[in-house]
Amino acid sequence: MPGYEPFLLCDFHVHTQWSDGRLTLREVIDLYGRTGRFDVIAITDHILMKRDLLARAGRIATLGQRAFGVREDAFDDYLAEIQDEAARARREYDMLVIPGAEVTQNRIRSKRNAHIIALDIKEYISADQSPNAVLAEIRRQGAVSIACHPHHRTTRRIEISTCYLWDHRKELSDLVDVWEAANRDDLFSVTSLKHFPYVASSDFHKPKHLYSWKTLLRCDKTWPAVRRALIENVDVALTLFRADAWKAATEPEPARQVRRSGRAGGRAAAASAALGSALVRWTRAT
């Protein structure tokens, strides 16, 4: 990706209208693709428990027009649409799109909640089973598991707690392939302090979430290479992706000079340069 060589700019946590995202799958592909910056994204819509109270409230509020999760009887259609859009994304934007899902467990007791991404998922995985069983099924499918926002968030959004995996990390760490060390604008430093494999993702639901934490991987732009890089977690970097980081690089030179002439433009250019070189880079070369 221009400006980030030799790394791939990746986002492994993206939602569409198949669950609770604002945009259709096609709109999401075009939003990421038209930046000219992204190399890899994963579509990870929710698979919900049958008695998910938040989804039930949402369905009532929308008079049943939204399901807020991918149903089992629609899962094959979901994967088929991702496959079609992935082919278009590679053709039009040279962007690798990975099929995934976020197996989502929302309960009244928040300490029991767990959200687990399965990358390269091939079969439906029920959310109505233990996190251990979900992780074992992801492993059986040869998919990659990511523990989503496993620690307490630092921002003041109204969010449910999803700390079950972190609270039980001693018994589950062998089943979890990767942990989110950053999600949207939150940074979970505890993940890296435990030396767990980690990524950073947007938890994308609407366009403004494009500008958030992202992962940089140094590997080939193929799923086998990306899979290996995630699990081995060598040459991985975290970066904040902001609007100026890609707009400045795509503007003609005269426009860049105009932007740099003002004080605000100077600050934006300096921030962009810093972010474009991987703001937070931890290289695991041990």
- What pLDDT digit, counting tens, does each position of 190-208 carry? 877 788 999 999 999 999 9
- What pLDDT digit, counting tens, does each position of 260-272 carry? 333 333 333 333 3
224 vs 96, 119, 219, CA distance in Å?
12, 12, 10
| In the predicted structure, residue 225 carries a pLDDT above the cut 80 | yes
| In the predicted structure, residue 177 carries a pLDDT above the cut 70 | yes
| In the predicted structure, residue 280 carries a pLDDT above the cut 50 | no
| In the predicted structure, residue 22 carries a pLDDT above the cut 60 | yes
Share of the chain above pLDDT 70, in %: 74
Position 220, amino acid: D
pLDDT recorded at residue 284: 45
Q: Could you tell me the CATH superfamily of domain 8-241?
A: Metal-dependent hydrolases (3.20.20.140)
Q: How confident is the model at residue 279 (pLDDT cuts 50, 70, 90)?
A: very low
8 A C-beta contact, residue 204 and residue 10:
no
| In the predicted structure, residue 70 carries a pLDDT above the cut 90 | yes
| In the predicted structure, residue 210 carries a pLDDT above the cut 80 | yes
**CA dist., res. 22 & res. 17, Å (int):** 6
| In the predicted structure, residue 1 carries a pLDDT above the cut 70 | no
| In the predicted structure, residue 251 carries a pLDDT above the cut 80 | no
Residues 182-207, buried b or exposed e (16+ Cβ, 10 A)?
bbbbbbbeebbeeebbbbbbbbbbee
Beta bridge partners of 48: 104
Q: What is the CA radius of gyration of the chain?
A: 19
Tell me the domain boundaries of the chain.
8-241, 243-286
Q: How confident is the model at residue 285 (pLDDT cuts 50, 70, 90)?
A: very low
* Residues 75-80: contacts with CB under 8 Å, at least 24 apart: 75/47, 75/123, 75/124, 78/18, 78/45, 79/121, 79/122
**Mean pLDDT, to the nearest integer, of 158-172?**
83
Using alpha carbons, select from 59, 9, 57, 2 the residue that is nearest to residue 216.
9
User: CB under 8 Å to 201, separation ≥6 — which residues?
Assistant: 11, 12, 13, 14, 146, 180, 182, 183, 184, 212, 213, 214, 215
pTM for the predicted model, two decimal places: 0.81
User: What's the burial of 100, exposed, middle or buried (CB within 10 Å: 0-12/13-18/19+)?
Assistant: buried
**CA dist., res. 2 & res. 246, Å (int):** 9
- What pLDDT digit, counting tens, does each position of 72-118 carry? 999 999 999 999 999 999 999 999 999 999 999 987 676 788 899 99
Beta bridge partners of 102: 46, 117
| In the predicted structure, residue 15 carries a pLDDT above the cut 90 | yes
Residues 50-72, buried b or exposed e (16+ Cβ, 10 A)?
eebeebeebbeeeeeeebbbbee
pLDDT recorded at residue 124: 97
**CA dist., res. 97 & res. 87, Å (int):** 8
**CA dist., res. 268 & res. 151, Å (int):** 31
**CA dist., res. 257 & res. 248, Å (int):** 10
**CA dist., res. 25 & res. 14, Å (int):** 10
pLDDT recorded at residue 283: 40
**CA dist., res. 143 & res. 202, Å (int):** 20
